Structure 1
Amino acid sequence: MSKHDYQYVPMSKAKPVWNELVEILHEVQNLVRQEFTFHFTPIGSYKRNMVTYDMKSNIGFDFDVNIEVNDKEEAFRPDEIRRIIRNAINRVAPHYGYGYCEDSTSVLTIKKVNNFQSRIIHSCDIAIVYECSDGRQQYIRFNKNSNNYTWEYRGKGFDGFSERWDWLIHNGHKDDLLEYYIKKKNDNNDPNKHSRSLLAESVKELCDKFGYYR
Structure 2
Amino acid sequence: RLGGGGTRHGVAGLLPRLARMAVSAGEHRHARELLADLEHRCAGDPDPLLAEARLLTRAVVAGDAAAAEAGAELARRRAHQPALVTACLLAGELGDARRWLREAYELAGPFDSAHLRRRIRTLMRGRGVSVPRPRARRETFSPTELRIIQLICEGWTNRQIARRERMSEKTIEDHLVRLFARTGCRSRVQLATASLAGRLTAAGSARVST
Give your verdict on TM over 0.5. Answer: no
Instruction: Report the TM-score, using the length of structure 2 for normalisation.
Output: 0.32
Structure with larger Rg: 2
Instruction: Report the TM-score, using the length of structure 1 for normalisation.
Output: 0.32
Name the structure where strand makes up a greater proportion of residues.
1
Name the structure where helix makes up a greater proportion of residues.
2
